[in-house]
Chain A
């Protein structure tokens, strides 16, 4: 259940009381390896991407790599990636919220079991799972054989955007369920009772109390589904065939071809999109807090 804990941390807003005490100061050296790690594997690559993205092969400063997003093919890939990841995120949210609600109300024993079921697929390799879906969805795949056996019309969704969305939803759904579940179980039952006590029926209680209190989990879930969906190239390669190109595929292609400058430039654009969407979401969060009625 380690993942559950990790997700847990995501959800928590930093608590007001810090846990600092004098002894903690002595422990400061413990943070050293982490700082090294962060510099080596997070800060440095980021600097390199910014550097490559803003320079030409000869080292001169340029916006050209970034402006390559205006190339019709790249722009189309970005827009399609945005569309598909948005749709998957919405589907994940619609599936995950009710599920998380049911889970958070269930009895403790069955509860852990269902959580296990949800994260069980994550114990299998991500690639394997996606390839399994390829096998299921193929023209002569398992799904169509079953449909054929039942004399039902066969489905042709492999190598379509629908297959990619399916792959995204399947792979990223747990990342939506768990953070929402985690905030929901932390809502004090008496807070809900208090709303009922003050005259709210179950619908109003949900809209005015449960939903707003669960927003941090929803935002966490959206982030954790939207970002990997937007940047994926594995799912689109396996389930989308060669005809459907997402921005992730374009970037991967550029790095494969050795065009580090182009790849980095397009990555920067993608990062800007992600930062922008995060900003929009958190702004919405603040507004919803002020505008309850």
Chain B
């Protein structure tokens, strides 16, 4: 956490007409970080990225880059490059001309440009494609050219807006590894936009979860997954059981009438809270005294594990397990104390979208 803040977004506010898209957003990006903006469609991820790239001006607030205010700087004067969602290749130029575009503007020598083209094509595994036209390439190949076109300029920061969104699953997974490899090889900062939580968890150093123009939580993938700060984050990042509960005292929570030991402290006594329990953290055991018991109501084989629903104390518990409990069987529900994540209850519906200060 001692690394430099490369980019600092301060109090960014942006609206289109009457719709407030970003409201007083604060965020910093450290050097060499792979930071992902994650959130449902329409939550303002692209707008944030476009403000960093210079394609959109914020109504209020500043974009600070290496200590300098670049809020008013046009995109061509910013030391960052963007990979657009729909590639945005220049269809009237060959692949080589596409990649050379930025370098020719910077008046680099012919030899330097030739070297760079070769190097970049190798990097994205498309050697020999110099003279092809963009239209003759597949979506995945075009996307890699878009990346090559951006990185030859040696930007300090690469902005990527759902770059893998249009690709099929297999190619998307391959490209995820390519991108991580590229990032490690090049040592540049990535700001990555996606609505795919799995992609975000796989690739990022830091995830910024957004909803309705507000930052919900900032943290490492482990933080976000294991310790979601509110129900929105818990729900958005993977499947989970989110249950209203009462914090009896430090390290003891009452869930649906049964006391569970947990590890959280500082919520006060008899305070209403939400608990998050990941489906894979629930153990189904023989019914016994003092634990919640219920009946298995559904069972689906998911390949790696079974997905079961257990009706217990009026709640449908989602359970992932490699051990099978047949439908109709009576089971007890057990959760280890550190697998219970306690969250403050939002005072109202609106507050779910409220910014959480880091």
Residues of A within 8 A of B (CB): 16, 188, 190-191, 193-201, 204, 208-209, 212-213, 289, 292-293
Whether the Cβ atoms of A193 and B88 lie closer than 8 Å is yes
Number of interface residues of B (CB under 8 A): 27
Q: B261 interface residue, CB < 8 Å from A?
A: no
The 10 closest A-B pairs by CB, nearest first: A198-B102, A190-B88, A194-B88, A196-B75, A199-B105, A190-B84, A191-B88, A197-B82, A199-B76, A212-B92
Residues of B within 8 A of A190 (CB): 84-86, 88
How many whole Å from B201's CB to the nearest CB in chain A? 27
Q: List 5 A-B contacts (CB under 8 A).
A: A191-B90, A193-B75, A193-B82, A196-B75, A292-B93
Q: B119 interface residue, CB < 8 Å from A?
A: no
Residues of A within 8 A of B278 (CB): none
Whether the Cβ atoms of B88 and A188 lie closer than 8 Å is yes
Q: B153 interface residue, CB < 8 Å from A?
A: yes
Residues of A within 8 A of B149 (CB): 194, 198
Q: B238 interface residue, CB < 8 Å from A?
A: no
How many whole Å from A245's CB to the nearest CB in chain B? 43
How many whole Å from B94's CB to the nearest CB in chain A? 9
* Complex: A95 Cα to B135 Cα, angstroms: 32
* Complex: A191 Cα to B104 Cα, angstroms: 17
Given A195-B90, A196-B75, A198-B153, are A293 and B84 neighbors across the interface (CB < 8 Å)? no
Q: B74 interface residue, CB < 8 Å from A?
A: yes
* Complex: A188 Cα to B82 Cα, angstroms: 15
B41-66 interface bits toward A, Cβ cutoff 8 Å, 1 = contact, 0 = none: 00000000000011100000000000
Whether the Cβ atoms of B84 and A199 lie closer than 8 Å is no
Residues of B within 8 A of A191 (CB): 88-91
Residues of B within 8 A of A (CB): 53-55, 74-76, 81-82, 84-86, 88-93, 97, 101-102, 104-106, 135, 149-150, 153
How many whole Å from A191's CB to the nearest CB in chain B? 5
Residues of A within 8 A of B135 (CB): 16
How many whole Å from B72's CB to the nearest CB in chain A? 15
How many whole Å from A216's CB to the nearest CB in chain B? 10
Whether the Cβ atoms of B81 and A200 lie closer than 8 Å is no
Whose C-beta in chain B lies nearest to the C-beta of A211? B92
Residues of B within 8 A of A199 (CB): 76, 102, 105-106, 153
* Complex: A200 Cα to B149 Cα, angstroms: 14
Other A-B pairs, 10, CB within 8 Å; known A190-B88, A198-B149, A212-B92:
A193-B84, A193-B88, A195-B101, A196-B76, A198-B105, A198-B150, A200-B76, A209-B90, A292-B93, A293-B97
How many whole Å from B147's CB to the nearest CB in chain A? 12
Whether the Cβ atoms of A292 and B97 lie closer than 8 Å is yes
Residues of A within 8 A of B97 (CB): 292-293
Residues of A within 8 A of B104 (CB): 293
Residues of B within 8 A of A200 (CB): 76, 101, 105
* Complex: A262 Cα to B6 Cα, angstroms: 79
Which among B86, B88, B91 has the highest number of chain A CB atoms within 10 Å?
A: B88
Whether the Cβ atoms of B84 and A194 lie closer than 8 Å is yes
Which among A188, A190, A209, A293 has the highest number of chain B CB atoms within 10 Å?
A: A190
Residues of A within 8 A of B74 (CB): 196, 201
Residues of A within 8 A of B106 (CB): 199
* Complex: A292 Cα to B97 Cα, angstroms: 9
Whether the Cβ atoms of B92 and A197 lie closer than 8 Å is no
* Complex: A248 Cα to B54 Cα, angstroms: 55
* Complex: A188 Cα to B84 Cα, angstroms: 11
How many whole Å from B276's CB to the nearest CB in chain A? 38
Given A190-B86, A292-B93, are A197 and B105 neighbors across the interface (CB < 8 Å)? no
* Complex: A188 Cα to B146 Cα, angstroms: 15
How many whole Å from B39's CB to the nearest CB in chain A? 21
